[in-house]
Structure 1
Amino acid sequence: MTKVKVCGIQHLEAAQWAVDAGADAVGFIFADSRRRITLEKAAAISDSLPESILRIGVFVNASKKELQSAVKMANLDYVQLHGDESPAFCRGLNIPYIKAVSIKEKNDLDKLPEFGEEMILVDSGKGPYRGGNGTSFDWDYLRDYHSNNRRLILAGGLKKENIREAIKKVRPYMVDVSSGVESGGIKDKEKIVEFIKEVREINSDSESGELQ
């Protein structure tokens, strides 16, 4: 059963749309991005969400102190790290983390085992930002990838029109969508609902053996 994370949340209304549509997680971006949000605003949104929703904060090269402070202030369940954080730095955080790895070539997958067997996010290496560029990579790279029980999160250019192909090829634990549920750079309620509905239908097809 592939889970859904709606990232780049900036307003309570959008967070509520995601929750109501059946999202499993929301993401707040604290790094350089047009979707950047303040800790104070993220904390207010986080406090209004049901406990069942994972709250994930996105950072680039933040210090351990900054990360620990953000987790406490915004009630984050995970920090998602898109910078040059080393495996040793990640292990030393003592807080749940998701390491993001940019995939430009198939051999970039060789980096994944360095970060243990927790959740890891794979994203496209194309675009001006460390993530959230709305671009995808070749999902065939992951068709025969053995995760060793690692929970893989797939990000990068996902939308309703391509999510079936992405899940069929990658079989991720979770998919991470942002620009694919926006109109004019703003979260779109209908697109959030339709994207999550599509993932649920794919999950149903997978359980019945129809997703080959």
Structure 2
Amino acid sequence: MKIRVKICGITRVEDAVTAADAGVDAIGLVFFSGSRRCVSIEQAQKIVHALPPFVSAVGLFVNADATEVNQVLNTVPLDILQFHGDETPAFCRQFARPFMKAIRVKSREDIQAAAEHFPDARALLFDAYVHGQFGGTGQCFDWQMLPENLPCAWVLSGGLNEGNIKEALAASGAAAVDISSGAESSAGIKDAIKIRALMRAIRAQENTENRF
């Protein structure tokens, strides 16, 4: 089974091209001013324009209002929206785009509740809960909390890097991963060597017999 990979927090054209050349399925653009990885609309336009066919552009928002989201959508050709704040299902679905909803996991109950509340999400993204922060923390959560048979597509995130990616995939059975800080030399600056090493580790894990 092919493991889908998104590299999030892209701020430079060259990093998007490197990620695409390494074989990622999607790149993430952060439109949240509270993030060190935030991009302007102009930056985002240049990055998306440089992507080859079939690499998706994902726009990440945190508690934005609808006007802000629509302003980005009117100027940047995003394929998927990713909501990382306290957005409701009705808010997420109003933009006529596939969306992912990020869940900062504290307990197994958080996971089950999200699957019930966001049945029309393209996927749920499970990230570590860190008080006062909305993602990109480099922290992991307990992968054993993930149920084996969730009734929805989901993405594993939170502190993934070359050193733990194989363990994370084996423990969780994730079919998709979202990596940000683990692919960086500094916040928002991706590291080509780390990206390629991550992709090699992920592709090697696809060939193991212990995945479920």
TM-score scaled to structure 2, two decimals?
0.92
Which structure 1 residue ranges, 5 or more long, are not aligned?
none
Measure, in 1, the Cα distance between the counterparts of 2:16 and 2:37.
13
Contact 2:173 2:211 in 1 (8 A): no
1:198 corresponds, among 189, 201, 205, to: 201
Residue equivalent to 1:51: 53
2:144 corresponds, among 140, 143, 168, to: 140
Q: Report the Cα offset of residue 141 of structure 1.
A: 0.3
Contact 2:16 2:50 in 1 (8 A): no
Measure, in 1, the Cα distance between the counterparts of 2:85 and 2:148.
23
Is residue 64 of structure 1 aligned with residue 27 of structure 2?
no
Measure, in 2, the Cα distance between the counterparts of 1:178 and 1:127.
19
Superposed CA offset, 1:84-124 (max 9, x none): 11112223332211111110122211222210152111101
Q: Report the Cα offset of residue 2 of structure 1.
A: 1.2
Measure, in 2, the Cα distance between the counterparts of 1:105 and 1:140.
10
How does 1:1-212 map onto structure 2 within 5 Å? 1-31=2-32, 32-113=34-115, 114-117=117-120, 118-126=122-130, 128-142=132-146, 144-148=147-151, 150-185=152-187, 186-205=189-208, 209-211=209-211
Paired AA for residue 96 in structure 1: P
Q: Percent identity?
A: 37
Paired AA for residue 160 in structure 2: L
Measure, in 1, the Cα distance between the counterparts of 2:210 and 2:107.
30
Q: Report the Cα offset of residue 178 of structure 1.
A: 0.8
Contact 1:124 1:136 in 2 (8 A): yes
Structure 1 residue ranges (4+ consecutive) displaced by more than 3 angstroms after TM superposition: none
Measure, in 2, the Cα distance between the counterparts of 1:179 and 1:54.
19
Measure, in 2, the Cα distance between the counterparts of 1:94 and 1:168.
35
Output the aligned Cα RMSD. 1.5
Contact 2:41 2:72 in 1 (8 A): yes
Contact 1:71 1:79 in 2 (8 A): no
- Bigger shift: 123-132 or 151-160? 123-132
Measure, in 2, the Cα distance between the counterparts of 1:138 and 1:27.
24
The residue matched to 2:46 in structure 1 has which SS?
helix
Superposed CA offset, 1:44-87 (max 9, x none): 11011112101001101112232233123121011100111111
TM-score scaled to structure 1, two decimals?
0.92
Measure, in 1, the Cα distance between the counterparts of 2:158 and 2:210.
25
Which structure 2 residue ranges, 5 or more long, are not aligned?
none
How many equivalent residue pairs? 207
Measure, in 2, the Cα distance between the counterparts of 1:92 and 1:189.
36
Q: Report the Cα offset of residue 159 of structure 1.
A: 0.4
The residue matched to 2:160 in structure 1 has which SS?
coil
Contact 2:15 2:192 in 1 (8 A): yes
Paired AA for residue 106 in structure 1: R
The residue matched to 1:74 in structure 2 has which SS?
coil
Paired AA for residue 150 in structure 2: S
